[in-house]
A and B are shown apart, each in its own frame.
Chain A
Amino acid sequence: GQQLNQSPQSMFIQEGEDVSMNCTSSSIFNTWLWYKQEPGEGPVLLIALYKAGELTSNGRLTAQFGITRKDSFLNISASIPSDVGIYFCAGPNYGGSQGNLIFGKGTKLSVKP
């Protein structure tokens, strides 16, 4: 079945540094979603990508939908302490069903002030 592989699993960075994380799959996705989850809360949608090659920004966040449709990356520029959390990529489960997202295992980001 479809799987999403996220890397790295965790990152420890200094405030002000840029961050890059990615998500790959052996299957094609037509939509890529990036979420951030903070402790005790639900995932919050950061960026949605709908077209191969698309590059979308949301403030200091930039995400791209890979040309092969099998990967996506998320960059965070000039990180700040409130960027701490777990970042998930997700895509629709075409093998299954409507309303069913597949999630990567997440990248845990820690920012040192």
Chain B
Amino acid sequence: KAGVTQTPRYLIKTRGQQVTLSCSPISGHRSVSWYQQTPGQGLQFLFEYFSETQRNKGNFPGRFSGRQFSNSRSEMNVSTLELGDSALYLCASTRDNQETQYFGPGTRLLVL
């Protein structure tokens, strides 16, 4: 069974731009969670989607948003990029109502 895939793997943007990252979960997994990983803050929860609905959201500004499609694929969007948004963005998928999450390889975003 294929694992979680994320595209693109690397991205360079400039301040003020916006970016869209994509995540395809493991087949049969309907829950997708997104995390931001930085050296200073570690892994922090952004939001979680299930059946095309955002169920939960972490403490990030409204510039961070996401969505999920009927095939469970998910995208996250960051608008008006700031230097501090440079990070590794990870998505993880899980089976319904389970707590064990499986991560993708991440998208490394650099904001200049």
Interface residues, chain A, CB within 8 Å of chain B? 31, 33, 35, 40-45, 48, 88, 90, 92-93, 96-106
Contacts and interface: CB of A to CB of B under 8 A. Distances in A.
B22 interface: no
A99 B101 CA distance: 8
Interface in B81-109: 90, 92, 94, 97, 99-106, 108
A41 B106 contact: yes
8 contacts: A31-B100, A35-B103, A42-B104, A99-B56, A100-B48, A101-B45, A101-B92, A105-B42
Given A35-B103, A99-B31, A100-B48, A42 B90 contact: yes
Which secondary structure characterizes the binding site on chain B?
strand
B103 A43 contact: yes
Nearest to A103: B43
A96 B92 CA distance: 17
B58 interface: yes
A42 B103 contact: yes
Interface centre among A40, A42, A90, A105 (most CB of B within 10 A): A42
A92 B42 contact: no
Given A33-B100, A96-B56, A101 B105 contact: no
Contacts of A100: 33, 45, 48, 56, 58
Interface string B60-97: 00000000000000000000000000000010101001
Contacts of A106: 42
Contacts of A99: 31, 33, 48, 50, 55-56, 94, 101
A45 B102 contact: yes
A48 B100 contact: yes
Nearest to B58: A100
Nearest to A35: B103
Contacts of A90: 43
